[in-house]
Amino acid sequence: KYNEIVNTLKIAKDIILNCVKDGQVVVDCTVGNGNDTILLAKLVGKTGIVYGFDIQKTALEITKENLACENIDNDVRLIHDGHENIDLYIKEKVDFIIYNLGYLPKGNKSIKTNKDTTLKSLQKAITILNDSGIILITCYIGHEGGLEEKEEVEEFLKTLNQKQFNVIKYDFINQINHPPILYGVEKSKTRRE
């Protein structure tokens, strides 16, 4: 048996595996190399839809190739635009949205998410979430601008009405070297004002 709470990536993956179901409409707001996009595509199956955003065309091309390599021909819509424009492309309610902020680990480190566009995107993402829908956000604080971005995310999430949203923060408080922080948002199903 392996450890259950080793890092935020595993916790995020466990939540994805638990929550994302066949036929759902889901969004990867930071496609990168497509690890999350591919997992989401497998989980929603042929009847679901995956929207994926990235500002790097090469990231989307690599993801497209990786999907093909795995023979996944599900409905994956890769969009070469910033997630701050999510509302221009998604006109329906969605069940799951994931953000893996920062830069691509082996890519160009100057191409990274930033607090203003991340906040803009989150504000829009919240409005398109289905009842019981979930948003996961992984924040990295070791690079320039990362801490400010994480603070912006956290301040925004703190403002969400607890009757409408459950919000959780996973923070490995005894790890050195700025471990990533994971936030989870769930839109309540029953309790509404």
Query: What number of residues does the chain have?
Result: 193
Query: CB-wise, 47 or 108, nearer to ligand SAM?
Result: 108
Residue span binding ligand SAM (CB under 6 A) among the ranges 1-9, 104-112, 159-167, 182-190: 104-112
Residue 104 engages ligand SAM in binding (rule: CB under 6 A): yes
Residue number of the CB atom closest to ligand SAM: 32
CA R_g for the chain: 16
Residue 53 engages ligand SAM in binding (rule: CB under 6 A): yes
Rule CB under 6 A: choose which of 5, 111, 123, 148 binds ligand SAM.
111
Query: CB-wise, 109 or 192, nearer to ligand SAM?
Result: 109
**Which residues lie closer than 8 Å to 54 by C-beta, 6 or more apart?**
30, 31, 32, 60, 63, 78, 79, 80
Rule CB under 6 A: choose which of 9, 10, 13, 33 binds ligand SAM.
33
| Helix 35-44 × helix 8-19 angle, to 10° | 20
Residue 150 engages ligand SAM in binding (rule: CB under 6 A): no
**Shortest distance (Å) from residue 124 CB to ligand SAM:** 12
**Shortest distance (Å) from residue 97 CB to ligand SAM:** 12
Residue 56 engages ligand SAM in binding (rule: CB under 6 A): yes
Task: Map residue 39 onto helix, strand or coil.
Answer: helix
Q: Would you tell me how many other CB atoms lie within 10 Å of the CB of residue 105?
A: 9
- Positions 65 through 94 that interact with ligand SAM (CB under 6 A): 82-84
Residue span binding ligand SAM (CB under 6 A) among the ranges 28-36, 127-135, 148-156, 164-172: 28-36
Distances (CA, A) of 135 to 8, 46, 61, 62, 173: 14, 22, 25, 24, 22
Distance CA 30, CA 103 (A): 9
Burial 67-96 (b: 16+ CB within 10 A, else e): beeeebebebebbeebbbebeeebeeebbb
By CB under 6 A, name the binding residues for ligand SAM: 29-30, 32-36, 53-56, 59, 82-84, 100, 102-104, 111-113, 117
